[in-house]
Amino acid sequence: MKRIVVLLALLTSLGTAGENRISVPYTRFTLPNGLTVILHEDHTTPTVSVNIYYHVGSGREKPGRTGFAHLFEHIMYEGSGHVPEGKYDEWLEAAGGDNNGSTNSDRTNYWINVPVNALELALFVESDRMGYLLDAMSPGKVDGQRDVVKNERRQSYENRPYGMASIMLDENLFPPDHPYHWPTIGSMEDLSAASYEDVVEFFKRFYGPNNASLSIAGDIDPVKTRALVEKWFSDIPPGPPVPPMGAPVAFLGAEKRLVLEDKVQLPRLYMVWHSPGYYRPGDAEMDVAASVLAGGKNSRLFKRLVYELQIAQDVYAYQASQQLSSTFNIVATARSGHTLAELEKVIAEEVQRLLLEGPEKREVERAVNQYEASFLRRLEAVGGFGGKADQLNSYYTQTGNPDYFQEDLSRYKALDPTDVQSAIRTVLRDDQRVVLSVVPTGKPELAAPARKEVK
């Protein structure tokens, strides 16, 4: 009995932990050329992360000229005016550093992690790419990286099982003139049609310092670091003004049901809805809804589909948050001998139960606690994807406030079951979704039924 009392006290204390306000102090300034700079001191280890966001993603591209933002992620590693081809990685690795980049629909990001004594090297190579990339760019380099990207598309989409599902979903969720209609990787036709002049024009338009933000976090002296930033970035001229990204409203007036035959062994069901954008009301709620439905072995769909009925190989759900519009996704793969109609029936039952009854308090608390634990773990790192340098830059890009950490976490900690239920009722409507069945070639009978009702 004593052990039970102690355990209950421990669990109660866990519920009240972490109530102190989270703050990540920073210094922010803007160079005359428009570059926003964010500095954060963390003297835990003698390392530093240099993180730059260019506020351009695939959403800035034009129909017929897609894939440029991602193509640039590759070209940026091909040398610049004062950094010969291949030396970017070589010099940073010799100094004990590592680096990477990523592109999505809203932004392109590059980061460098180095020992603090190599900070100036990191700032030099990054500034050289911003200011002098065109000095080293050539039609041959563009063609070479174009082929690399096209091969990446083959590997990640066209030749990968279920790989074309995401492209097909976006094309049906968003109208042709919406920035999220096409994939970040672009289409083969657009990549082939891109000229050297097109690529140069894209760089000049979007890769100026006035369309970028630089975040530096780690074992730094802010005064000395500011002097280094001014030394290496101040001479880069600004580009033309870049207006805010806009888009037509993404809306589905009726359910869409699609079937894709693919070289797969097991059929897979995708159910996708439009949902609130990043940090908007309902965004955090749908994150929690995803956890309640399919976040781990104790979730509703996992228990029913995988454990109890054993008709699914796997199931997961997630809120794919983006700037203009997000999507809420439920994905389930059938076990051999079962159809997607069986899976959809159970998913529909569980979604309907959530709509009518809402989640239980313990389900919401579990989801929020898991999010908080992950959130706090990310705060331990200064660099890489999701580290403090990256998060400061992301918060600044999305909200204008680099230290949005407490506000972000508070979105989740303030939730109760009725908040989640209200968001679910708004988002998970049967008449405003795309249902895609990916089935083995020649077996369309395994698809979900081509009708709204599932009996």
State pLDDT tens for residues 148-172.
Answer: 999 999 999 999 999 999 999 999 9
* 422-439 pLDDT, tens digit each: 999 999 999 999 999 999
Q: Do residues 72 and 214 both lie within one domain?
A: yes
206 and 306, same domain (yes or no): no
Same domain, 262 and 384: yes
Q: Is residue 14 part of a domain?
A: no
pLDDT digits (tens, 9 = 90+) for 334-382: 999 999 999 999 999 999 999 999 999 999 999 999 999 999 999 999 9
| Total residues belonging to the chain | 455
Q: What average pLDDT score do residues 15-28 get? A: 77
- Helix extents (H) in 80-207: 87-94, 119-136, 139-153, 165-173, 188-193, 196-206
Q: Which tens digit of pLDDT belongs to each residue from 93-117? A: 999 999 999 999 999 999 999 999 9
Residue 8 has pLDDT above 50, yes or no: no
Of the candidates 158, 184, 181, the one whose C-alpha atom is nearest the C-alpha of residue 102 is 184
Residue 415 has pLDDT above 80, yes or no: yes
Residue with tokens 């313990």: 362
**Domain tally, the chain:** 2
Residue with tokens 């990477």: 100
Are residues 215 and 276 both part of a single domain?
no
The token duo for 56 is: 């351009």
CA–CA dist 195, 348 (Å, integer): 48
Does residue 326 register a pLDDT over 80? yes
CA 178 – CA 246 distance, rounded (Å): 9
Domain check: are 64 and 176 in the same one?
yes
Q: Are residues 160 and 198 in the same domain?
A: yes
pLDDT for 455 beyond 80: no
Residues 440, 436, 56, 392: what is their CA dihedral angle, to the nearest 10 degrees?
-100
Task: Give dist(CA 29, CA 35) in Å, integer.
Answer: 8
Same domain, 287 and 418: yes
Which of 49-53, 185-189, 247-251, 445-449 is the least confident region? Answer: 247-251
Residue with tokens 């790192």: 381
Are 261 and 159 in a shared domain?
A: no
The pairing of beta strand 36-41 with beta strand 108-115: unpaired
- Tell me what pLDDT residue 245 has: 85
Which band of pLDDT confidence, cut at 50, 70 and 90, is reported for residue 10?
very low
Q: For residues 39 and 44, give the distance between their C-alpha atoms in angstroms, rounded to a whole number.
A: 15
- Residue 256 predicted with pLDDT over 50: yes
Tell me the average pLDDT across 265-276: 98
What's the confidence (pLDDT) of residue 81? 96
Written as six digits, the tokens of 324 are 């203009």
Q: pLDDT confidence of 19, banded at 50, 70, 90? A: low
Q: What is the mean pLDDT of residues 241-258?
A: 90
| pLDDT higher than threshold 80 for residue 398 | yes
Side by side, the strands of the sheet bearing 256-262 are: 256-262, 433-440, 268-275, 326-334, 312-320
For residue 377, being part of any structural domain is answered with: yes
- Both 281 and 172 in one domain: the answer is no
242 occurs within a structural domain = no
**What's the confidence (pLDDT) of residue 452?**
54
Average pLDDT value for the chain: 93
The answer to whether residue 240 is domain-embedded is no
Burial label, 400 (beta-carbon count in 10 A; 0-12, 13-18, 19+): exposed
Domain boundary among 198, 218, 233: 233
Residue 401 sits in a domain whose CATH number is 3.30.830.10
Whether 287 and 434 map to the same domain: the answer is yes
Same domain, 332 and 405: yes
The verdict on residue 18 lying in a domain is no
For the beta carbon of residue 12, count every other beta carbon within 10 angstroms: 9
13 lies in some domain: no
Domain boundary among 202, 233, 264: 233
* Predicted pLDDT at 134: 95
Q: Show the domain range for 433.
A: 256-446
Can you tell me the mean pLDDT for 247-266? Answer: 93
Question: Are 363 and 271 found together in one domain?
Answer: yes
The pTM score is 0.92
Residues 25-51, mean pLDDT to the nearest whole number: 97
